[in-house]
Amino acid sequence: MNHNSPRDISALLEELGAGLKKRWGQNFLISGDVRTRILDLLNVEAGANVWEIGPGLGSMTEELLERGARVTAFEIDWAFVRFLGDTLGARFEQFRVVQGDAAKTLVEVQAEQGSPEYLLGNLPYSVASAIVAVVLESGISARRMVVMVQRELANRMVAGPGTKDYSAFSVLCGSRARMRKAFDVTPGCFYPAPEVVSSVVEILPNTEHEISDPVLLSRLVRELFSSRRKTIRNNLKGSALAAEYGMERLIAAFDATALETSIRAEALSVKDFVRVANTLAG
């Protein structure tokens, strides 16, 4: 089939009895040029172990396989799983498709066979942040990861302190990896066309931060961003962390790292959050 043709895609969906499901964010990339840019950015070599999240009808999957990659695809839609197995699975021995919610199956496959060398994902807008969080927090690592998400989420992934997009999610991303927004993709490059602009983000390993207790860091960040307009001290008051550690110990952790609690969380760098969490973990 022609993956650049809305007519061919629509005909195949009808043949498969697979209507488009909005809840799964099924928008098919119909630009060959954009697919090439994404795959060139991922830059896999023959024989590399690649995980692909949300392969859909397999437009990029097929190109990865033709480049000699060993591909494990994670797909939630049973109709697409069957189609991929019947077509690509029949042609390429180095292809495997895993059915289910990627937020769960990624962790399960990692437990079985470890992390991939590369990861690629055209992520549904509604669950993109959750999937990125699972990848980062579960310790799934790769030489390079390339994901396509809604532009607003991409801006949060790469945002720095003091900017309007800087958030708890930004700190999660910055503490676990190096993020770079590579390029935007307009709605017309998809079928059906979404109402938003997408962005391609490159994710690389980051060994800058040594995190003593990742769970504690995540809790601290969420508490401090719970109300953006409040100071750090005011967000900590009455928090679950204050109940567990006590305000005196929390304030002491900031004092030990020469950070004021009279400022807002958005003024702290990723390194600042890590230092406070590590001090608190003690």
Quote the number of domains for the chain. 2
196 lies in the same domain as 232: no
pTM of the model: 0.94
DSSP 153-192: HHHHHH--TTSTT--HHHHHHHHHEEEEEEEEE-GGGEES
268 lies in the same domain as 159: no
* Residue type for position 76: I
Residue 101 lies in a domain: yes
What is the average pLDDT across 10-21? 82
CB 168 within 8 A of CB 227: no
pLDDT value for 26? 75
**Mean pLDDT score of the chain, rounded to an integer?**
95
Between β-strands 198-205 and 177-185, what pairing exists: parallel, antiparallel or unpaired?
A: antiparallel
Could you list the residue range(s) of the whole structural domain that residue 229 is in? 214-281
Q: Is the pLDDT of residue 21 over 70?
A: no
User: Which of 157, 177, 205 delimits the end of a domain?
Assistant: 205
Residue 1 lies in a domain: no
